[in-house]
Structures are given as C-alpha cells and as structure tokens.
C-alpha cells in the first residue's frame, strides 16, 4: 500500500502531529502509515483522505502485494 500523505501534508502545511489530531489517532500511527510500515483501517484511510479533500484512491494506492 503506497500513499502520498507526505505530499498532501506539505500542501496543507501540517505536521504529522496535527494530522494525527485531526483524525483522532496518535502521531506514531500517522508516522507508521506515512512510511508504509502498515496499512490503515478503512475508517482511518477515509478520515485522512477527507482532511486532504481527496478520495481514498487519490491518497492511497493498492500494490500487487496487497
């Protein structure tokens, strides 16, 4: 599962901590997902996309291994 959270955060100019706060998870969760350590739940993916004003598919991309 790839994502462009870093880019979208840069556009909004918000930190991992602020994104975490906005979607109600810890900073470590955002960090891990952003770095691709694991994939989020659908709920979290939708919340993150919503913060960015984008669709889930515009922020996250399925890989062949998923």
Binding mask 6-45 for DNA (x = CB under 7 A): ---x-----xxx------xxxxxx-xxxxx--xxxx-xx-
Cα angle value 29/34/36 (rounded, 5°): 95
Closest approach of Cβ 58 to DNA, in Å? 18
For 3, the enclosing helix (H) or strand (E) is strand 2-3
Coil, helix or strand for 22? Answer: helix
Please, which residue, 13 or 65, has the CB nearer to a copy of itself? 65
Residues that bind DNA in the complex, under the rule CB under 7 A: 9, 15-17, 24-29, 31-35, 38-41, 43-44
């Amino acid at each position: 599962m790839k994502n462009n959270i870093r880019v979208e955060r840069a556009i909004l100019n918000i930190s991992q901590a602020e994104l975490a706060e906005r979607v109600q998870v810890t900073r470590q969760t955002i960090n891990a997902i952003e770095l691709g350590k694991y994939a989020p739940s659908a709920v979290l993916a939708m919340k993150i996309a919503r913060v960015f004003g984008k669709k889930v598919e515009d922020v996250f991309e399925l890989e062949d291994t998923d």
